[in-house]
Amino acid sequence: MAFRRFVSHKAAVVSCIIIGILALFVILAPFTARYGVNQSVQAPPNSFLSPRSNAWLGTDDIGRDLYSRLIYGVRVSLLIGLASALISVTLGALVGAVAGFRGGKFDDILMRVTDLFLAFPFLVTLLVVRNVLGGLPWLKPLTGEMNSVRFIIVLFSIFGWMGVARIVRGQVLSLKEREFVEAARAVGASRRYIIARHLLPNSVGPIMVALTFSVVGAIIGESTLAFFGYGPQAGDGATSLGILVGAAKGAVQTGFWWLAVFPCFMLIIIALSINFIGDALRDATDPRLDRGV
Amino acid sequence: MLRYILRRLAWSVPTLLLVTFLVYLALRIGTDPVESYKRVNPRASRAKIQQYIDINGLDPNFVQGYFKWLKNFITGEWAPSIKGRREVWPALKDAMANTLRLGTAATVVGIFFGLIAGVLAALRPGGRRDVFINTSAFVGISIPPFISAILLQLLFAVYWQRWFGESLFPTSGVYPAGHSGFDLFLMLKFMALPTIIVAIQIIATYSRYMRSSLLDVMNSDYMRTARSKGISERRILIKHGMRNALIPVVTIAALDVGSIVGGLIITENIFAYPGMGLYFLKSFGDGDFPLLMPWMVVIVASILLFNLIADISYAWLDPRIRLE
Amino acid sequence: MAEKVLEIRDLHVTFDTPSGPLEAVRGIDLDVEAGELLGVVGESGSGKSVSFLATMGLLPARARVTGSVLLAGEQLIGASAKQMRSVRGRLLSMIFQDPLSALNPVHRIGNQISEMLRSHQSLSSRDADKRAIELLDIVGIPQPSDRARQYPHEFSGGMRQRVVIAIAIANNPKVLIADEPTTALDVTVQAQILEVIERVQERFGTAVVLITHDLGVIARVADRVNVMYAGRNVEQGTIDNLFDHPSHPYTRGLLASLPRPGKQRLKPITGFPPNMVNPPKGCAFHPRCEFATDVCKSELPSLVSYGDLQTACIRAKELPKAVILT
Ligand SMILES: Nc1ncnc2c1ncn2[C@@H]1O[C@H](COP(=O)(O)OP(=O)(O)OP(=O)(O)O)[C@@H](O)[C@H]1O
Ligand code: SF4
Ligand SMILES: [Mg+2]
């Protein structure tokens, strides 16, 4: 039933195909990319070449192939998105389940903290928390250097869990009211057993949805950070979608349109596709729709 | 009502203190204000540095330091910026005015069109118009504002100029360089693009809120009662539907300042629009503690204020809610 | 026979659902006479609400409605939206089951009544307000002028149902349809609301259609009864005739399941209501009917006069006389 509803969401099916193709391109980067990340397309003069046969999407300021760089960039961005989404969803689901079930002080504090974070402008919190993370020396072993990909993943995991925790908490609270949990409790099942057996499986739908949306959240977040110059550094021949989009800013006034258009559209396509998938998942797993009509 | 407002205002003082303390901590840890000062002013004397520490409350003990900062903040002894020793208040005031102008324009435009789009979508759920509005809104919220900013800027400012000789909308600032005095037309022209970009997000968000809220209302029993009265569809929609559907939307709107300010910060930066966003990014980049703290206070205070407005408007729209 | 104000003939209502077309009403014939109180009974899902929502023109657009509904000689099926608007609330009013959600929470009680008045009569707003207060008084709300300024949440369930009745009768309609008006209320309040409805019927000569599950309620207030099963009416007649010697096996079952003083055990009808996406062929009651024969599985019975009742049962004439249970 849920699967049928998902498949009937046409945009989501198209999105799945797009993301599938992208993933394939990215995994097979050594074959699909035409040049290395930092490799020049041709001997100078080679910077700011418009799209042509030896550089399909043009080249950047130091003559690197935008097409190849996009493939490598998307690879890093998808990695950031997936890794931080997985971490934050796991963390959030656990915290949310405990808060929803235990209630009390823990729950109150959780709600206050997340309220505070959600009320602040996202970029401000993001930048401040980023600096705080980087400013605590004892966190170094966990976070790595401030401009590393690892640091970004940790940062977005910290941001991502709160939304998920709230969703799962709400889910748990509403499930708690339902009879079957009451029934289980009447039979004398322990709390942990109830959580494991009934509550988490019933939250799988919303958690899946949250997972897809946090992937987008982290990818866009990385781009935002990079756009304002706080992203991961190109360093060891790596790039990311954020870095490429950030470079687009400088290309606008000078009119090197390809440097702005291609990375931006890539980001739009990824964000839209994953959002459509999440939206369809939400519809497909919404228990309210299960009753037909 | 008045007593409620006064009590809420009184309560917001401890909240403000707590949150500014957290912000103080975060900035102390995150930006290391003393180091930043030394970096910007490498030749500053020991006495100068000590004076900077004293006036900003940058003591090694965070709690003591916070209260010192608080005292100076309240008594109006604000430190000048670390870069160029500018006075903070005039800069902050200008930034606030500019952002208020852009933010109000974008919010008014955005909520107006967003609500209309939401209503149009909800009137015939599942119809072609609904699918179009809903999908556009979905695309709208999926595109981060800096992406739409880059693309629109490229199209309307840069390429428009190449194709038609003059750019349709300028890309930066409030007025062209060297302009002085007030010129409404010029200002509107400069503000158009940033306003549109922030408004797109608001339209997309609010059309979705309004649609789902109105759909809920449309299926409720009292709407059936209204229809059974034989009154016109328009009256049913406006008198019975809209008023109820707006209750959750208004509440969300007032709580949403955070995300609107977020969109403003990003947009201002791209258009070099001298508002709160540009102010923040510049001073954050410099680690300019004397500039940052007052900015944070303004933001926290306005979030608290809009929370209060949300509750009041909620009670005003919904007679079931009593403010105690 | 008195003048007929509402004549429903061969009414069909079909919904398109994901699992196929659902024919909720499959050919209803029903008359309402001026000033009478007609009871409509039937199990949940038998199509009572849908029939009368169709009469009011209040079904969603995806419902297909055919047949004929004459209200004081005016055809309502296929009437324009404008025509229906002028009928609704003026000639024909309806009140619903749940008074808690039937009133708009953000408007004052008085305004909700005067809105009804002013949409069908040209009244000044002051006159409408005055009339609204009178109506509140008629339905038995104390201090009506103060209450008119209050909001629905300040009223109890029973009081809200009175307000709903006041709205419905504001323009002195010819027919008032009450769809389970007391189901959501507790027993003492139920009796009061029924009294209000009876009072309105007597005082203004309004014909009332009272939809309910509760045969006890029907026995107490109705003049005539119409019994529905699976989207069709299976029996109709005056209250005395129907209760004394029911003819249709379903009606017999309903009466047998009625608790009565002195009777020891209830005898509920066995089996389940039919699935309306795919109802049984022939007489829809046959899977549950103790008198069913093969004919019943293929032939669709319609209402035929049988004695002083009208009954839709192929075997009505041959069946043994019902035992009156006391
Ligand atoms: N809007 C709708 N869409 C699809 N099916 C509907 C709709 N409204 C009613 N139905 C179906 O029509 C049938 C008759 O419903 P109706 O509400 O008339 O029953 P009822 O006799 O009033 O029952 P109850 O005593 O429970 O109110 C049911 O099977 C119901 O599922
Ligand atoms: S027609 Fe046949 S099945 Fe239907 S009620 Fe009569 S006897 Fe029973
Ligand atoms: Mg019903």
Task: Enumerate the β-bridge partners of residue C92.
Answer: C88, C175
- Write the DSSP symbol of residue A197: I
Which residues on chain A are in Cβ contact (under 8 Å) with C17? 292-293
Contact flag C104-B240 (C-beta cutoff 8 Å): yes
The rounded Å distance from CA C285 to ligand 2 centre is 6
The rounded Å distance from CA C179 to ligand 3 centre is 7
CB C63 within 8 A of CB C34: no
Within chain B, residue ranges assigned H as helices are 2-31, 33-40, 46-56, 62-74, 88-123, 128-142, 145-152, 160-164, 184-218, 221-228, 233-235, 243-255, 257-270, 276-286, 289-317
Within B179-237, residue ranges assigned H as helices are 184-218, 221-228, 233-235
Q: Does position A32 have pLDDT exceeding 90, yes or no?
A: no
Which of A293, A288, A282 minimizes the C-alpha distance to A12? A282
CB B299 within 8 A of CB B284: no
Atom of ligand 1 nearest to the CA of C45: 19
Q: How confident is the model at residue C324 (pLDDT cuts 50, 70, 90)?
A: low
Q: Tell me the shortest Cα–Cα distance from A293 to chain C, in angstroms.
A: 6
Residues 6+ apart with CB under 8 A from B175: B183, B186, B187, B190
- Write the DSSP symbol of residue C4: E
pLDDT of residue A192: 62
Distance CA B81, CA B288 (A): 6
The rounded Å distance from CA C266 to ligand 3 centre is 24
Distance CA C8, CA C68 (A): 6
Give yes or no for A4 touching C (CB within 8 A). Answer: no
Contact flag A271-B144 (C-beta cutoff 8 Å): yes
pLDDT by 10-residue block (mean), chain B, 324 residues:
86 91 92 87 88 89 93 90 86 93 92 94 90 92 89 83 75 64 75 89 92 91 94 92 90 80 87 90 92 94 89 86 73
Residue among B16, B99, B131, B154 with most chain A CBs within 10 A, to mutate: B154
Give the pLDDT confidence of A119-134 residue by residue, as tens digits.
888 889 989 999 998 8
- Write the DSSP symbol of residue C1: -
**Ligand 1 pocket test: which of C48, C51, C254 has the largest number of ligand atoms within 8 Å of its C-beta?**
C48
The pair of three-digit structure tokens given for residue B289, joined into one six-digit string: 């503690």
**What is the side-by-side strand order in the sheet with C309-311?**
C92-95, C175-179, C207-212, C37-41, C224-229, C232-238, C309-311, C304-306
Instruction: Report how far Cα C15 is from the mean position of its chain's Cα atoms.
Output: 20
Contact flag C96-B220 (C-beta cutoff 8 Å): no
CB C41 within 8 A of CB C49: no
Contact flag C88-B227 (C-beta cutoff 8 Å): yes
Give yes or no for C122 touching A (CB within 8 A). Answer: no
Distance CA A238, CA A244 (A): 11
pLDDT of residue C1: 55
CB atoms within 10 A of CB B18: 13
Distance CA B146, CA B277 (A): 13
The pair of three-digit structure tokens given for residue C266, joined into one six-digit string: 């209830």
B262 to chain A: closest CA residue = A121
Which residues on chain B are in Cβ contact (under 8 Å) with A11? 135
Mean pLDDT to the nearest integer, A194-213: 77
Nearest-CA residue for atom 8 of ligand 1:
C50
Torsion of CA A259, A265, A267, A272, to 10 degrees: 170
Give the pLDDT confidence of C125-177 residue by residue, as tens digits.
999 999 999 999 999 999 999 999 999 999 999 999 999 999 999 999 999 99
Q: How confident is the model at residue A291 (pLDDT cuts 50, 70, 90)?
A: very low
CB B258 within 8 A of CB A119: yes
pLDDT of residue C106: 93
Q: One-letter amino acid identity for C59?
A: L
Q: Is C48 in the pocket of ligand 1 (CB under 6 A)?
A: yes
- Write the DSSP symbol of residue A289: G
Distance CA C165, CA C125 (A): 21
Atom of ligand 1 nearest to the CA of C13: 12
Give the pLDDT confidence of C24-83 residue by residue, as tens digits.
999 999 999 999 999 999 999 999 999 999 999 999 888 999 999 999 989 999 999 999
Instruction: Report how far Cα A32 is from the mean position of its chain's Cα atoms.
Output: 24
The rounded Å distance from CA A111 to ligand 3 centre is 42
Q: Tell me the shortest Cα–Cα distance from B181 to chain A, in angstroms.
A: 27
Torsion of CA A242, A244, A249, A252, to 10 degrees: -150
Residues 6+ apart with CB under 8 A from B154: A252, A257, A260, A261
Contact flag C104-B228 (C-beta cutoff 8 Å): no
CB atoms within 10 A of CB B184: 7
Which residues on chain A are in Cβ contact (under 8 Å) with B135? 11
* Measured CA distances, B244 to A20, A225, B116, B215, B219 (Å): 43, 40, 15, 11, 12
Atom of ligand 2 nearest to the CA of C319: 7
pLDDT of residue A290: 46
pLDDT averaged over every residue in chain A? 82
At C126, give phi and psi (nearest 5°).
-70, -45
Give yes or no for A117 touching B (CB within 8 A). Answer: no
Between helices B2-31 and A122-135, what is the axis angle to 10°? 40
Is the bond preceding B170 in cis, omega lying within 30 degrees of 0? no
Q: Is C22 in the pocket of ligand 1 (CB under 6 A)?
A: yes
A–C interface: beta-carbon pairs under 8 A: 5
CB A62 within 8 A of CB A40: yes
Which residues on chain B are in Cβ contact (under 8 Å) with C93? 228
What residues flank ligand 2, with Cβ below 6 Å?
A: C 248-249, 283, 285-286, 289, 291-292, 296, 301, 313-315
pLDDT of residue A194: 66
Q: Tell me the shortest Cα–Cα distance from A7 to chain C, in angstroms.
A: 16
Per 3-state DSSP, what percentage of chain C is helix, strand, and coil (rounded to 5)?
35, 25, 40
B148 to chain A: closest CA residue = A264
Q: How confident is the model at residue C326 (pLDDT cuts 50, 70, 90)?
A: very low
Terminal-residue alpha carbon distance, chain B: 8
Give the pLDDT confidence of C176-226 residue by residue, as tens digits.
999 999 888 888 899 999 999 999 999 999 999 999 988 888 999 999 999
The rounded Å distance from CA C300 to ligand 2 centre is 9
pLDDT averaged over every residue in chain C? 90
The rounded Å distance from CA C46 to ligand 3 centre is 8
pLDDT of residue A293: 32
Within B126-183, residue ranges assigned H as helices are 128-142, 145-152, 160-164
CB atoms within 10 A of CB C275: 12
Give yes or no for C17 touching A (CB within 8 A). Answer: yes
pLDDT of residue A183: 67
CB A189 within 8 A of CB A227: no
* Measured CA distances, B264 to A68, B191, B293, C228 (Å): 33, 12, 19, 63
**What is the side-by-side strand order in the sheet with C4-17?**
C20-33, C4-17, C63-71, C74-75
Q: Does position A83 have pLDDT exceeding 70, yes or no?
A: yes
Nearest-CA residue for atom 16 of ligand 1:
C47
CB C152 within 8 A of CB C163: yes
Task: Enumerate the β-bridge partners of residue B36.
Answer: none
Contact flag B221-C101 (C-beta cutoff 8 Å): yes
Residues 6+ apart with CB under 8 A from C238: C223, C224, C225, C308
Which of A282, A205, A269, A290 minimizes the C-alpha distance to A77? A269
